[in-house]
A and B are shown apart, each in its own frame.
Chain A
Amino acid sequence: MTVLHWATISPFLLAILIPFLYKYVRPIHTGWFVLVLPLVLFVYFIQLLPVTSAGGVIEQTVPWVPSLGINFTVYIDGLSLLFLLLITGIGALVVLYSIYYLSKKTEKLNNFYVYLLMFMGAMQGVVLSDNLVVLYVFWEITSVSSALLISYWYHREKSTYGAQKSMLITVFGGLAMLGGFSLLYIMTGTFSIREIIGSLDLVTTSSLFLPAMFLILLGAFTKSAQFPFHIWLPDAMEAPTPVSAYLHSATMVKAGIYLVARFTPVFGGAAEWFWTLSIFGIVTLLWGSISAVRQKDLKSILAFSTISQLGLIMCLLGLGSASLYFGYGDETALYTTAILAAVFHLINHATFKGSLFMTVGIIDHETGTRDIRKLGGLMTIMPVTFTVSLIGLASMAGLPPFNGFLSKEMFFTGVLNSSELSIFNMQTWGFLFPILAWIASVFTFVYCLVMFFQTFTGKFKPENYDVKHVHEAPIGMLISPIVLGSLVVIFGFFPNLLAYTLIEPAMASILPNLLEADERFYVNIYHWHGFNTELFMTIGVIAVGTMIFLLMKKWAKLAIYQKERDPLNWFYDHSLTGLVRGAQFTTRIQMTGVLRDYFAYMCVFMILLFGYSMIRYNAFAIDTTNVTGIDPFMWILTILFIGATVVIPFINHRITAIILVGVIGFLLALFFVVFRAPDLALTQLLVETVTVVLFMLAFYHLPELRKESFKPRFNLVNLIISIGVGVLVTAIGLSAAALGNSANFEFISEYFIQNSKELAGGYNMVNVILVDFRGLDTLLEVLVLGIAALGVVTMIKLRMTGREDV
């Protein structure tokens, strides 16, 4: 275990201590103890920056299940370090924020911080793991801890609904992803991402390439709330706001982005990868931004906004993967811009969305509502919150001079470049990308305006709020959003701070194949890039967006604006209830609780299975070569036997039926005599006698009421089934005899005949086999009889009286 491994699992270790700290150190808010860890980790990861920015990587392995090739391998390159800094940095800010957000007196802080630390550790594990199985394990821990955090206020129905929804969707995707990982393992024989990238030709030429790709994408799309799996994210807003800020804007929803970026070297350059990512990304972007406009709840707006921004990043990753198609060249440089934009926007989104969630949390905390129809006029009352929100919203809308503007410009550049792309049939439909992106940006601008103006401007109406004195939040609560807000500004003014340290190494790990040794991407981001199409697009966004907002009074009356809920939820809810109903239905029609039905199933299954295999393998055969003649008395016996058997179902009287069964048994004994088996005949006679006595005894004890009520009913299905079974068994018997004849086996009975006297000292071969050659069988059969007898005694003598539970 190296320091890096300890760093990865340290949140889990601390999580073990949290309940004790919570219980025994009550005066201090538990969050303070938690805060130390992400800070330390952040500092630790910061000092690894020089390594990755110089193009180096850190790889350390601890064996876990070496026999299966599963090792806890941590691997740090530019991409994972970027995520690690996001996780620990925003983690520290969120913990600080939660200290002031969650009350020490009323909340179960031990639960909260244990879940949060679990999540943090799992997220670190996801981005650090080089081994796919380890990655999957951590991936599922994020799903579980996320569901736990969403249902933190578990007494609320909406919380548990949201938690269940997110759990079902993300675990569904997670399992699909595990399938994809397994396929990759089948193709390459290794679980290590590095080695898979190393043996890329094995993957790209395999027929499993596409299934693996789509399964892994399913995992990424469900986690990153891509269309149509985004529906869990708005319902996850029932979680406490620190959780929403951390999980549902900055870290967990980006796990899918991370996965896609991580696997770009493996799958990128294929048309399916390019199209799937770009189309789903742009659809998510558009859908999210349009849905966000309709929301009335601040957190819901932010949720849909997150969805749309994730779609934007996903789309960019898709478009950027085209550069892998070209190899290294001038076109490549053009399309790597998309990857650059994706990485840059990833950072930007984490900063401004985190701060926005926190300010919304403050507004909720201080006013008691998040409904934009009630809010208003908070500008002068909460000046700090107002300032931070303004910065965040402006950045999200893509206004200069904030970082959102830069990444949005780059996004436009990316879509414009790719619309001219001449691969993958892009030239046909490529023009749609800039248009859709532009429309989505307009709506993004609109909901930013809505959020801003509805919350902060207008007249302050105290009667709207449950809280008596609405005032600015305490300073502790404001630190985190201020830090994130200032990062928005700093990254806006000095974007190249990030370029060398974070973005270039991250790009290098997304597109490693494009770089020769000792080469690196050169990123230079600057605000002013002349009067080009992108700038005019932004101006258009602002103009049209403002116009739409000004006309809000008119379109706000439309029915579509009034309905907040995503129409796709209908499918989720109905498929869930449909699933339960369907399961109940199928259970009801087959699990009747009637023994007769189950017996019929068994018989039918037997007929189908054996009948099918007889036909399939052409196994039916009749062979009369070894058949001996039939004597007249055998005919008589057979006729009597069949007659007695056929009559039984038509007997209405129990005792008569029993006697007939006895008759059949004695006839069987006669058969044994005819076929020269004296021991069997004797045993059969005696057993039959004892059985009939037993039957008589049992029937004597039948309850009075139902005495003699035995009247077999006719049932066609049962008749068919029984005839089927009879025919089948006959066919099997005939075929077995015929095939046995043709197979020319040497019978073991010869051995017994020759050796029974010599080896066992007995002339009665049957008895010698029973007690000597195969004595073990006899011993165990006797044991069975003994158990049966004891069972009868137990059932009768030790019967419970009254209605006691067994």
Chain B
Amino acid sequence: MKSNEVMLHTLTRVVTFLILAFSVYLFFAGHNNPGGGFIGGLMTACALLLMYLGFDMKSMKKALPFNYTTIIAVGLLISIATGVSSMLFGYPFLTQFFEYYQLPILGETELTTALPFDLGIYLVVVGIALLIILTIAEDDA
């Protein structure tokens, strides 16, 4: 860890959480307000990139022990599974459903199958943005 970047480190720690929180907000807001899986994913990737900029690669790997290739695959699988699940009930591929529920804390909430679909997109976007940039950055040829 580089010792003379205290300001950057401190700020990164604070700001990253703000950006992450905002990205989660964007992701959930998507159905009714501007936002969605794509933007949320990019925003999350930006937050993580900021951390990569602030700290070095080794400690980041320790902190986030993810394989981004797996994340892409998981995201794609979730999206496809959402589409396929509607087929199990006899509807065409990628038919979305929604319903309103009374949940304990959140009150009346709309739950929709578009959300897991968006989640898949979110994961893929996070995965690819980080994978591409980190791969190029790590390349020392």
Contact = CB atoms under 8 A, between A and B. Distances in A.
Contacts of A690: 42, 45-46, 129, 133
26 contacts: A678-B34, A679-B34, A679-B35, A689-B46, A693-B49, A694-B133, A697-B133, A697-B136, A760-B114, A761-B31, A762-B98, A762-B112, A763-B32, A763-B33, A764-B33, A767-B30, A768-B114, A771-B37, A779-B79, A779-B117, A782-B75, A786-B72, A786-B124, A789-B72, A793-B135, A797-B135
A783 B132 CA distance: 15
Contact of A760 (B26, B72, B98): B98
A252 B125 CA distance: 71
A762 B32 contact: yes
A782 B133 contact: no
A800 to B, nearest CB: 11
A761 B49 contact: no
B10 to A, nearest CB: 23
A655 interface: no
Contacts of B135: 792-793, 796-797
Interface in A674-712: 678-679, 682-683, 686-687, 689-690, 693-694, 697-698, 701
Contacts, number: 136
A156 interface: no
Contacts of A649: none
B22 to A, nearest CB: 11
Contact of A786 (B83, B128, B141): B128
A485 B79 CA distance: 88
Interface string B27-70: 00111111111110011011001000000000000000000110
A689 B49 CA distance: 11
B121 interface: yes
Interface of A: 678-679, 682-683, 686-687, 689-690, 693-694, 697-698, 701, 760-764, 766-768, 770-772, 775-776, 778-779, 782-783, 785-786, 788-790, 792-793, 796-797, 799
Contacts of B133: 690, 693-694, 697
Contact of B43 (A678, A686, A767, A792): A686
A682 B127 contact: no
Contacts of A772: 96, 114
Contacts of A762: 31-32, 98, 112, 114
A426 B56 CA distance: 101
A689 B33 CA distance: 22
Nearest to B110: A761
Interface in B113-141: 114, 117-118, 120-121, 124-125, 127-129, 131-133, 135-137, 139, 141
Interface of B: 26, 29-39, 42-43, 45-46, 49, 68-69, 72-73, 75-76, 79-80, 83, 93-94, 96, 98, 110, 112, 114, 117-118, 120-121, 124-125, 127-129, 131-133, 135-137, 139, 141
Given A760-B98, A771-B114, A701 B69 contact: no
A701 B141 CA distance: 8
Nearest to B137: A697
Contact of B132 (A682, A761, A770, A788): A788
Given A690-B45, A701-B136, A788-B132, 16 more contacts: A678-B34, A683-B38, A686-B39, A762-B32, A763-B32, A767-B31, A768-B114, A771-B36, A771-B37, A779-B79, A779-B80, A779-B117, A792-B131, A793-B69, A796-B136, A797-B135
* Most chain A CB within a 10 A radius of its CB, from B36, B110, B127, B133: B36
A669 to B, nearest CB: 12
A84 B33 CA distance: 88
A683 to B, nearest CB: 6
B46 A782 contact: no
A616 B30 CA distance: 48
A788 B127 CA distance: 11
Contact of A694 (B26, B79, B120, B132): B132
Contacts of B30: 764, 767, 771
B73 to A, nearest CB: 8
A682 B31 contact: no
A670 to B, nearest CB: 15
Contacts of A799: 141
B125 A785 contact: yes
B35 A767 contact: yes
Given A689-B46, A761-B112, A786-B72, A779 B39 contact: no
A797 B141 CA distance: 10
A298 B120 CA distance: 85
Contact of A793 (B29, B45, B76, B131): B131
A772 B94 CA distance: 8
B39 A679 contact: yes
Contacts of A678: 34
Given A693-B49, A693-B133, A701-B136, A764 B110 contact: no
Contacts of A782: 75-76, 79, 120-121, 124-125
